[in-house]
Structure formats: structure tokens, C-alpha cells
Amino acid sequence: MTNLRPTLGDFNSVVCFKAVITGVEDTLGPDGAAVVFTRAGRVRGHELARELGVSNSSVSPEEIAELLDGAIGKRGTCLTGVKSVAKDGDNYIVECFDTVCSAGEPQGSDRKCTFTLGAVQGALEEITGQTFYGEQTDSVLRGGQYDRFLFSPL
């Protein structure tokens, strides 16, 4: 990956990203913003899987976790750490930590990880060739150990 900004580098602050989230929520409302951020994340996830060269491949859930963590975790863009990817029947369960969406939020906040969920969903869709319905089933903000996402095929 080449530097998109030669002087400041490719990363910006969580504070600035969160300002975008709250500004869009103020403009579109929470539900409208969730649709926008989930879709934007899906687009990013599809691009990411193509960049990694794993489109329509038979990659195991463990390999998906390693690929995603390398690309969007600490050694990548720092969107989130990916703890695990597991398959339960036709569903995928993804556990993430240090998600940018949860950063700085108080315990009990109803904030959802819409962009992060979308990015993981888009990557899974590109890797598997399937379309999924994604939902956040657990949150570090509401007592969970991880931000957990469930992806069910459509």
C-alpha cells in the first residue's frame, strides 16, 4: 500500500473519525447513518478482500481471521482487532476488539459498530461469494468481552 498523504501518512485520529460519525447521525438520524456507514464499510470490505487476492476463495474461518486482523488490525489500518472468525452452520461469527466505533464511548452506550460490521461483512461476502445479513450481537459497551457480529446468508 502506498502512502496516500506523503507528509502526514495514511492514518487520522479516532477523534476525527468519531466526529464524522456523530455529524452524519445529527444530519440523517441514527438509522439513516447506520445504513450509510454499513454500506460504506461493505464497499471497503469488498475492496480489501480483492486487494488481498482472496475473492471467491475457499479460505478457512481461521485464515479469514488472520487475513482480516493483518489488514484492519494493529499491523494494518487499525480499524479493529479481529480476535476470531468461526462458522456455525451457514453463519459466520466474528469477534472484534478495540473497534474504532466503540472508542471513547461510555459503558452502557447504545453505539453500534456499523462501519466495522460493514467492513467485515463486505470482506466475507467477497471471500465467500455469498451475500450476508449482518448484525451486532454483543458489544464491549454493554458488558461483552468483544464486539461480536453474526453474518447469516441471504
Q: Give the span between the Cα atoms of 95 and 24, in whole angstroms.
A: 26
How do beta strands 132-138 and 81-88 pair? unpaired
pLDDT at position 113 is 95
Q: What residues does 87 pair with on adjacent strands?
A: 92
Q: Average pLDDT, stretch 20-42?
A: 95
The structural domains of the chain, ordered by start, are 14-153 (3.30.1380.20)
Q: What are 101-139's pLDDT values in tens digits?
A: 899 999 999 999 999 999 999 999 999 999 999 999 999
Rg of the chain over Cα atoms, rounded to whole angstroms, equals 15
Phi, psi (degrees; rounded to nearest 5) at 45: -65, -40
User: pLDDT tens digit string along 70-112?
Assistant: 999 999 999 999 999 999 999 999 999 999 989 999 999 999 9
